[in-house]
Structure 1
Amino acid sequence: MKLLRRKEGPSLDSRLAALLEAATLGEGRLSVQAVSGARAVAERAGVRRSLSIDHTVAALAGATGSGKSSLYNALAGEELADVGVTRPTTSTAQAALWDGEGSGPLLDWLEVPQRHSTTTNPDFSGLVLLDLPDHDSIRLSHRLEVDRLVELVDLLVWVVDPQKYADAALHERYLRPLAGHRDVMLVVLNQVDRLPPQAVERCLRDLRRLLDEDGLTGVPVLAVSARTGTGLNELRTLLGDRVSERKSWSARLAADITSAAGHLATAGPATETAHEPDGQAAAMPDTPVSGDLVPGIEAGRAEVGVVAANRSAVGGAEAGGAAVDGVGSRSLERAGKGSAGWDRALTGALCAAAGVPVVVEAVAKGHRHRAVVATGWPLTRWLRRFRPDPLRRLRIGGVAQPGRPDRELVGRTSVPGASAVQRAQVETAIRDVGATAASGLPGPWAAAVRQAARSRSDELADAVDRAVAKTSVGATRRPRWWRAVNVLQWLVFATMLAGALWLGVLFGMDYLRLPQPPLPTVGVVPWPTVLLLGGALAGVLIALLSRLAAWAGGRRRARRTAKALRAAIGRVGQAYVLEPVEAELDRHARFAEALDLARA
């Protein structure tokens, strides 16, 4: 099947795909009525295109006593519909077919059982003319039938009479909500034979004024009389032109797409039951919702003012378009280039709540503590072990893995929990991120962005603690010079011990009055004394120098750890707060692009 393509703008296929994409992206954020209405339009469009596109379905719709059935018979050239005084006369829709071969599946889809074939006018070849029940009938089933078929037919011919052409039920329930369908609509002022010529002109001018107020500027208005035949030729010509073009079906679908996109652009939030701390309604993307509302007719009953959305969707977006077009790209720009400000404030609050200053101080003290244990004088270093290790007290790098003594487990730390003030600061920072990112977005999307900022806040504490534990493992690594100094200390200690043993042997020999062996000296000082005192002095001096080096190293390690902790916590804030926000902003940007394409 060859698909009809517009001369300008995207194809009907691409617009339908864009509408479906916009509905999918808006699900959970926008009202169920708007989303389900858009899906219904897409589904209806797919079914209509799969049926006969060589036939044009036109419907005569109007109020009680407007003469629809008389006009139907006049166009068909024979008495197909009953015309009487008793109301309502037409209870079910019936169809007149001109060259109706292949129209069966289409009429089955429309659920029109009464069908009449006629060949009175060859210019009507391919026309399927429906006579609908009264839209203001006292019977609910008749009104529902009209509502259903008005949503499905390709061309709408509204039949009015001089007495009720200004009826509010017609204008508020049908004409205004269908302002975006002006290209597939005709208005016929019937029974003009009952008025003098001057009154006919006045009625036409007043009807034209009312239609303009309804947003139906340019819709053809014809004055006819089904009884006398006045204006019927002009109506037949106009219908014949529409039928011969074979474009009414695609024009109707295009208008439906534009209308559904307009409803999406101005839709409210998905639910009104959830509220944010600041009192604004919050969209709940994960909340299941249900319901249905057919666009065009039912939406117009719920909110007559939505005609503004239809007008803006056709002639250039005003209310809804201004709120959607271009906002997503600007928001993404803020999320990309301007997120540094959000990141700094959020990271600062998370660092304070995670006890980073406590950890950094413990890193410096722990480094000095472990350095003394590793490089101190062997005779006194064991005393240091009785002092608590600041890092082990916080459970940072405290347990070695079996078989891997050089590696340490990363577990839950014992860093003091955040205070109430710190938790409030984190909540404020998260709320500020959501509020800044949502600035300029339509209400439902702004609520969704704010909700996204808080969507993983319950996981933040554990994620930040894991980041602190994992990042702080590097603060427990032993520098290589500790091992070298430790070896040197033991060599010096061995030297001191050798001198002590040598002196002990000499003392024993003197005690036993044994002859003294020759004793080498350094100047006048014997070598055993040099080894003993020199080893002790060297060990203490090395320990002091090592302590100075450990103090400087502890400061450097604390600075590096603080930088690493801030970076790690910043990545947590990015993953748990900023990325959901940016994902929601990107979703809105794609939604806006899809709406632009659907309404093009």
Structure 2
Amino acid sequence: MKLLRRKEGPSLDSRLAALFEAASLAEGRLAEEAVSGAREVAERAGARRNLSIDHTVAALAGATGSGKSSLYNALAGEDLAAVGVVRPTTSTAQAALWDGEGSGPLLDWLDIPQRHSTAPAPDLSGLILLDLPDHDSIRLSHRLEVDRLVGLVDLLVWVVDPQKYADAALHERYLRPLAAHRDVMLVVLNQADRLPAHAVERCLADLRRLLDEDGLAGVPVLAVSARTGAGLGELRSLLGDRVAHRRSWSTRLAADITTAATRLGGAPAEGGAGRTVGMDRALTGALYDAAGVPLVVEAVAKGHRHRAVVATGWPVTRWIRKLRPDPLRRLRIGTTVPAGTRPSAVLSTKPQGELAGEPLDEPSGGAAERLPSASGAGIVGRTSVPAASAVQRAKVETAIRDVGEAAAAGLPGPWAAAARQAARSRSRELADAVDRAVAMNSVRATRRPRWWRAVNALQWLVFAAMLAGALWLGGLFAMDYLRLPQPPLPTVGVVPWPTVLLLGGALAGVLIALLSRLAAWAGGRRRARRTARALRTAIGQVSDELVLAPVRAELDRYARFTEAVNRALDGT
């Protein structure tokens, strides 16, 4: 017995674990009936495995008047079940036990209170035979009891009679849905003594045809008579063979797992999981435009030139540049606010959800959520980049939808819908996440190059020289006006030094400013290109995290579900 269990156990355990895993992965994706049914099968199978495997539970099931109770008594060798004319006769299931020692917990699990020990019979040792109520009883409680036990027993013996063997209720409600359980099923044509021999053969042939149509090819079919005992020996032999092998319980559980896995997964798509490769470009591009990055990049170039003029321009005229607005400050890029600033002071004017094209719930940090600045000196607020246009929002929505459709391609309906939903699941966070990415990655665009400081110092040195020359000349004019004697005047060639300082300082300052402006123009272009690359990378990371990652997770979930279903179906 232990050898049998070691042989069957690992495969069955693996299939049970796979079925439970598949049910867990299908939660919220597939119909609740299929998911709960799979979990119920897994739990039921686990419970059955922990009970006696030395006993085989067989149930006699059939319609009213088929003679189940008479056959039950004939097999038991004594009158255990009441047989009468008034229907229904059997109201509750009862059990006949051949060597039933140790079967108590199993019968408790089956909830069979009526138990009868029979005379010892070596050929049936370990058999627990149940007499069920009629499956077509006029009493609902009887039908429910049959349904419950049909789903639990190890071996099903369907008892039919010559008049009702083709009953649609039997074939459509029980036999056809249980086609996967044909290895744990017997069909007995009872009351064969009422027909001539040739009529019995015709009935058996017709019954065989109906069973084949139900998908039950190979299920043993035999004619018996509980009254005369005809065929009982063959039936006892079949039951004894199933009991001796002690495999009906595991075969039944395997069939239950197959049925549940089939209802869960059907035929999973062969390599049908969708793909998102190549979709990130279109999505990043749409977010790039909708986030106003081209405007930011242009502002970076202009802002660099603006700040360069302020920092390196001719001191005499640079104050004029300060009167012009800084393009980056207008977009709240690179600005820092004190840590104690109230949240309202850094609120963005951009409506939440503009990128995703739908009203968004405010995140936990609110619109006033602030980020550490690159320098660590303060905090970076949201930008004031203009809201996305309707066309830009539509492009973002289309890109997100395309990602969902690409992921859903080839997936079964419920999983395709889940993939599409995964693409949209975090779209409410896109606006804030993209804006934060723009704010953080644009901070570097406001850093001052070191050469600005050197040029600024040079400009002030030149300005000081020009001012010294102006003061010197002013002093000379004053002395001449007052008719004071002129001091000796040094010259550079024929040009007096005060004039050299004044004119040379002015020309040098203007020249340095022009050269600095040229360098700032080139530097602005380089900085704009770097910023564009950095923002595209950052927005790509946002799109990957909020759109593509949930889709990949859903596709991975489907792949694991498919693998689990396949393992539950074939045990590999």
- Determine which of 550, 559, 572 is the counterpart of 1:580: 550
> Once the 2 structures are TM-superposed, how far is the Cα of residue 10 of structure 1 from its aligned partner?
6.0
Secondary structure, aligned partner of 2:129: strand
| CA distance in 2: counterparts of 1:584 and 1:217, whole angstroms | 40
The answer for the alignment partner of 1:562 in structure 2 is: 532
**1:117-516 to 2 correspondences below 5 Å:** 117-265=117-265, 320-321=266-267, 323-328=268-273, 331=274, 334-335=275-276, 339=277, 341-399=278-336, 401=338, 407=377, 409-516=379-486
> Once the 2 structures are TM-superposed, how far is the Cα of residue 508 of structure 1 from its aligned partner?
3.0
The answer for the alignment partner of 1:519 in structure 2 is: 489
Deviates more, 1:117-126 or 1:235-244: 117-126
The answer for the alignment partner of 1:76 in structure 2 is: 76
Secondary structure, aligned partner of 2:157: strand
Secondary structure, aligned partner of 2:380: coil
Q: Which amino acid aligns with 1:105?
A: P
| CA distance in 2: counterparts of 1:402 and 1:432, whole angstroms | 42
**Is 1:5–1:12's contact at 8 Å kept on the other side of the alignment?**
no
Secondary structure, aligned partner of 1:599: helix
CA RMSD after TM alignment: 1.8
| CA distance in 1: counterparts of 2:2 and 2:46, whole angstroms | 14
| CA distance in 2: counterparts of 1:377 and 1:533, whole angstroms | 14
Q: TM-score, normalised by structure 2?
A: 0.91
Q: Which amino acid aligns with 1:416?
A: P
> Once the 2 structures are TM-superposed, how far is the Cα of residue 198 of structure 1 from its aligned partner?
1.4
> Once the 2 structures are TM-superposed, how far is the Cα of residue 363 of structure 1 from its aligned partner?
1.0
Residues 208 and 474 (structure 1), Cα distance of their counterparts in 2 relative to 1, 3 Å cut: same
| CA distance in 2: counterparts of 1:75 and 1:108, whole angstroms | 23
The CA deviation string for residues 477-507 of structure 1, in whole angstroms up to 9 with x for no partner, is 1111111111111111111122222222333
Long gaps (5+) in structure 2: 341-372
The CA deviation string for residues 233-270 of structure 1, in whole angstroms up to 9 with x for no partner, is 111111111111111111111111111101101xxxxx
| CA distance in 2: counterparts of 1:192 and 1:400, whole angstroms | 97
Q: Which amino acid aligns with 1:27?
A: E
Q: Which amino acid aligns with 1:168?
A: A
**Is 1:326–1:592's contact at 8 Å kept on the other side of the alignment?**
no
What is the identity percentage for the equivalent residue pairs of Structure 1 and Structure 2? Answer: 82
**Is 2:335–2:381's contact at 8 Å kept on the other side of the alignment?**
no
Long gaps (5+) in structure 1: 266-319
**Is 2:52–2:102's contact at 8 Å kept on the other side of the alignment?**
yes
The answer for the alignment partner of 2:507 in structure 1 is: 537
Q: TM-score, normalised by structure 1?
A: 0.87
The CA deviation string for residues 39-66 of structure 1, in whole angstroms up to 9 with x for no partner, is 1011111111111111110000000111
> Once the 2 structures are TM-superposed, how far is the Cα of residue 554 of structure 1 from its aligned partner?
1.0
Secondary structure, aligned partner of 1:115: strand
| CA distance in 2: counterparts of 1:216 and 1:474, whole angstroms | 74
| CA distance in 1: counterparts of 2:421 and 2:401, whole angstroms | 9
The answer for the alignment partner of 2:520 in structure 1 is: 550
The answer for the alignment partner of 1:295 in structure 2 is: none
> Once the 2 structures are TM-superposed, how far is the Cα of residue 402 of structure 1 from its aligned partner?
6.8
Runs of 4+ in structure 1 deviating by more than 4 angstroms, as ranges, are 1-10, 400-408
Give aligned pairs, total.
Answer: 537
| CA distance in 2: counterparts of 1:232 and 1:252, whole angstroms | 24
**Is 1:6–1:12's contact at 8 Å kept on the other side of the alignment?**
no
